[in-house]
Amino acid sequence: MKEYSFESEFTDQQENVMRVYCENANKECYDVLYDVLIDTWNDPYKIYYPSGAFPQDEEKFRDEIFDYLAKKYPEYF
């Protein structure tokens, strides 16, 4: 079962930087919300956490976010 749900968009016309909004998929838990940036040009597998909030299980988070991104943007991931 997925722990997170995601929405994403590019922040620039060249599609170099992607913003991904992440929240806990469990509707009973509203305190988990991450807003991350991904540089699709230089290193698409590096996650930037501009708000400074990191998930507790970062490995699971990375697995889920990159699974989502690979399905939605196969040309980048």
- Reported as a pLDDT band with limits 50, 70 and 90, residue 2 is confident
- If you average pLDDT over every residue of the chain, what do you get? 86
- C-alpha to C-alpha distance for 73 and 24, rounded to whole angstroms: 21
**Residue 23 predicted with pLDDT over 90:** no
- Reported as a pLDDT band with limits 50, 70 and 90, residue 54 is confident
The whole-model pTM stands at 0.82
CA-wise closest residue to 7 among 63, 65, 51, 50: 65
CA-wise closest residue to 10 among 77, 73, 66: 73
